[in-house]
Amino acid sequence: MGRSTGLAGRAAATADTPRRGRTTPSEAPDPARSTRDEAPDPARSTLDEAPDPASDSAPNALDDAAARVRDTLEEVFLAVAATGADTSDLLAGLAGAGREPRASDLTALRPGLRARLDSHPLVSGVGFVAAPGLLGDVPGWLEWWQRGPGGAVRPLLLDLDPEHSAYSDYTHWDWYTLPRETGSRAVAGPYVDYLCSDEYSLTLSAPVTLDGRFVGVAAADVYLRHFEAAVLPVLQRLPAPARLVNARGRVAASTDPAHLVGSLTKGPDFGAVLAGPPAEHRAEGGLRLLPCSGTPLVLVTAQSAAESAED
210 CB neighbour count, 10 Å cutoff = 20
pLDDT value of residue 27: 41
pLDDT value of residue 179: 92
User: Per-residue pLDDT tens for 26-77?
Assistant: 344 443 333 334 444 554 444 444 444 334 444 488 899 999 999 999 999 9
What average pLDDT does the segment 9-24 reach? 42
From the list 221, 240, 242, 220, the residue with the least C-alpha distance to 231 is 242
Specify the amino acid at residue 130.
A
User: Per-residue pLDDT tens for 143-195?
Assistant: 999 987 777 888 887 655 555 555 557 888 878 988 998 898 989 888 887 66
pLDDT at 16 over 80: no
**Is the pTM higher than 0.85?**
no
pLDDT value of residue 23: 38
Cα(109)–Cα(94) distance, integer angstroms: 14
Cα(183)–Cα(180) distance, integer angstroms: 6
Mean per-residue pLDDT over the chain, rounded: 79
Taking the alpha carbons of 243, 283, 298, 52 in that order, is the dihedral positive or negative? negative
Angle separating helix axes 110-119 and 61-96, nearest 10 degrees: 170
